[in-house]
Amino acid sequence: MNLDYFKPLEKCHFFSAPKRIMFGTGVAKNVGGELESFQQKKLLVITDNKIAETDSVKSLINSLSACDYKTKIFLSETKEPTAEMITEFIKFCRAEKEGIVIGIGGGSIMDQAKVASFMTLCEGEVDDYLGTNKAIKSRLPLVLIPTTAGTGAETSPNAVIKKQTKKYTISSTTILPDLAVVDPLLTLSLPKKPTAFTGIDALSHAVEAIISLNSNPLTMATSLEAISLIDKNLPLAFFSGYNIEARYNMSLAATLGGLSLNSGATLAHSISYTLEKFGVPHGLGCAIGLPQVIRFNVPVMKEKIKRIAVALGFDELNYSSYAEIASYVVNRVNDLNAMLDIPLTLKSMSITIEKSKELAQECFQKYPRPNNPRLYSEDDIIKLYADLWEGKLEIENI
């Protein structure tokens, strides 16, 4: 028997998820009863000023108080978390010594909750835990409740922290929540721009998880379903925010996208990190980079592109060549960006071609992606940014 045939099957795949996911329209009002299993009556809630004033979150917090929980609320800033911001919440939790940590908000809020949940019981500073599998000690019970549909932070083992001009990640299964509560009703009041940016962030998670060399059958399944849901529902949620079916499906897509991150993100996220110095929100940066990243990797992932195309509504009977299939995928994502009023080129954002080259060098040096299927040099990334500056979408090298 030729055992070489079985070598691709020998790879070990890992897939991590929250202990429990509670999903459905209106489920947030039942959180109080779900928390009884923790046998804790103190809740350490982190949210931000804007979210705390929404009727849905006020109702959620009131429902917890009605269940005789002692609720302590920490209001954070509405921006991506820095080590200093997280440290303030850690101090808040350490002063209380015990309780259930609950993050209610977008990805930034939930990431702060993740880090504080274990650092409350640990010594040291946030910087000591940057990297992979350093957060290995026990933590306080953790519950995450998203109010956007995109970051997937409620189901991913990552927390992103900004330090000066660079982003770092704390990645560990320790910071996966005991309970993720996904209630589409909490996203109904989300304005159009955050709806678009977080929605495309979810699409980036799903597509990049497929592109990734670490893709596996489980992340492929969650990714393909997320792509299909986003393609059909993000425009509806964008143009009609109170379309509950669209919001439901986008919340589901975001949750699946977070699970897809078991495969890791690729170059679209790296591009987003470089654009943030211009005040570009993370999801918007991913959206801008995603069509070019797909295009760049087209030559080395033929079967994956076909599966992405079908998830995006491609009819295989209408086209014959791989170039046509790949072009469909790239243009479909680009057209979705255009529909959501997302810039399609760096030039349209008033970024000069010279600055574009500097961003490319930063991307190559600071944010490498060894799980990207196509090997690349610094010159390759410079060309990728040049194409992104110009908006070149033609398929080449296949």
pLDDT, tens digit (0-9, with 9 covering 90-100), for 83-117: 999 999 999 999 998 999 999 999 999 999 999 99
Per the structure, the complete domain to which residue 354 belongs is given by 192-390
Shared domain for 341 and 228, answered yes or no, is yes
CATH of the domain at 251: 1.20.1090.10
Is 368 inside a domain boundary? yes
Shared domain for 182 and 46, answered yes or no, is yes
Shared domain for 56 and 130, answered yes or no, is yes
Residue 166 pairs in a beta bridge with 163
Shared domain for 355 and 373, answered yes or no, is yes
Is 14 inside a domain boundary? no
- Count, in order, helices (H) and strands (E) of the chain: 14, 9
Is 398 inside a domain boundary? no
Low-confidence ranges of the chain (pLDDT < 70): 1-10, 319, 397
What's this model's pTM, rounded to 2 decimal places?
0.93
Helix 378-390 and helix 282-297: axis angle, to 10°? 110
Which of 187, 203, 222 is the last residue in one of the domains?
187
CATH of the domain at 179: 3.40.50.1970
Which of 142, 172, 187 is the last residue in one of the domains?
187
Contact 145, 116 (CB under 8 A): no
Helix (H) or strand (E) holding 164: none
Contact 190, 146 (CB under 8 A): no
Shared domain for 360 and 300, answered yes or no, is yes
Sign of CA dihedral 306, 310, 314, 317: positive
Tens-place pLDDT, residues 284-323? 999 999 999 999 999 999 999 999 999 999 987 776 789 9
CA distance 80 to 313: 34
Shared domain for 330 and 244, answered yes or no, is yes
State the distance between the two ends of the chain, measured CA to CA, in whole angstroms. 35
Shared domain for 353 and 208, answered yes or no, is yes
Which of 187, 209, 235 is the last residue in one of the domains?
187
Contact 136, 126 (CB under 8 A): no
Is 352 inside a domain boundary? yes
Shared domain for 165 and 221, answered yes or no, is no
Shared domain for 260 and 279, answered yes or no, is yes
Residue from 304, 188, 203, 193 nearest 246 by CA: 188
Shared domain for 309 and 273, answered yes or no, is yes
Is 216 inside a domain boundary? yes
3-state secondary structure of 157: coil
Shared domain for 180 and 204, answered yes or no, is no
Predicted local confidence at residue 8, as pLDDT: 53
Is 276 inside a domain boundary? yes
Is 396 inside a domain boundary? no
Shared domain for 93 and 177, answered yes or no, is yes
Total domains in the fold of the chain: 2
Contact 302, 285 (CB under 8 A): no
Name the token pair of 29: 């009002």
Is 13 inside a domain boundary? no
